[in-house]
């Protein structure tokens, strides 16, 4: 699992590359939280296009960051979500609090 990050305006873009399971969840959490503090951006976009595998551990990673970001008044979005990951996200009602966009340009426009 590798994280790439980029800042565009007040948005932090985190691209998750590889396999997201319980084993890597903890370090990913810490890494993203550190990025949020360091980059001082308000909003967070997760780009899922490079994700090769995800189990339900991924939900905790996203919802946990959602809590932290809403504390500072920001928003969280996910983009490029595969059908499978979409099914797992839907099961938890993740989309009640997090917006999904088809691609990055749409997300950047709306967030």
Partner 1 sequence: MEYNNYMKLEFESKSHNEAFARVVVAAFAAQLDPTIEEITDIKTSVSEAVTNAIIHGYEDKIGLITIVAVIRGKEIEIDVSDNGKGIENVIKAMEPLYTSKPELERSGIGFTVMETFMNVVKVYSTVGEGTRIRMIKRIQNQNTEIR
Which residues contribute to the site for partner 1 (CB under 8 A)? 19, 21-23, 25, 29, 53-57, 59-61, 63-64, 84, 87-88, 91-92
Cα–Cα distances (Å) from 53 to 7, 74, 99, in that order, read: 25, 27, 21
Q: How far is the CB of 70 from partner 1 (least distance, A)?
A: 15
Q: How far is the CB of 37 from partner 1 (least distance, A)?
A: 18
Determine how β-strand 76-79 pairs with β-strand 43-47. parallel
8 Å CB contact between 82 and 50? no
- Residue 34 or 55: which CB sits closer to partner 1? 55
């Amino acid at each position: 699992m590798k994280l790439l990050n980029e800042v565009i305006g007040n948005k932090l873009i985190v691209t998750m590359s590889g396999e997201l399971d319980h084993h890597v969840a903890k370090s990913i959490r810490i890494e993203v939280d550190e990025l949020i503090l360091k980059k001082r951006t308000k909003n967070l976009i997760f780009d899922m296009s490079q994700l090769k595998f995800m189990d339900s551990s991924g939900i905790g990673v996203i919802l946990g960051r959602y809590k932290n970001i809403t504390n500072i008044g920001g928003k969280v979005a996910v983009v490029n979500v595969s059908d499978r990951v979409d099914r797992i996200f839907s099961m938890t009602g993740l989309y009640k609090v997090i917006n999904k966009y088809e691609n990055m340009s749409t997300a950047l426009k709306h967030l």
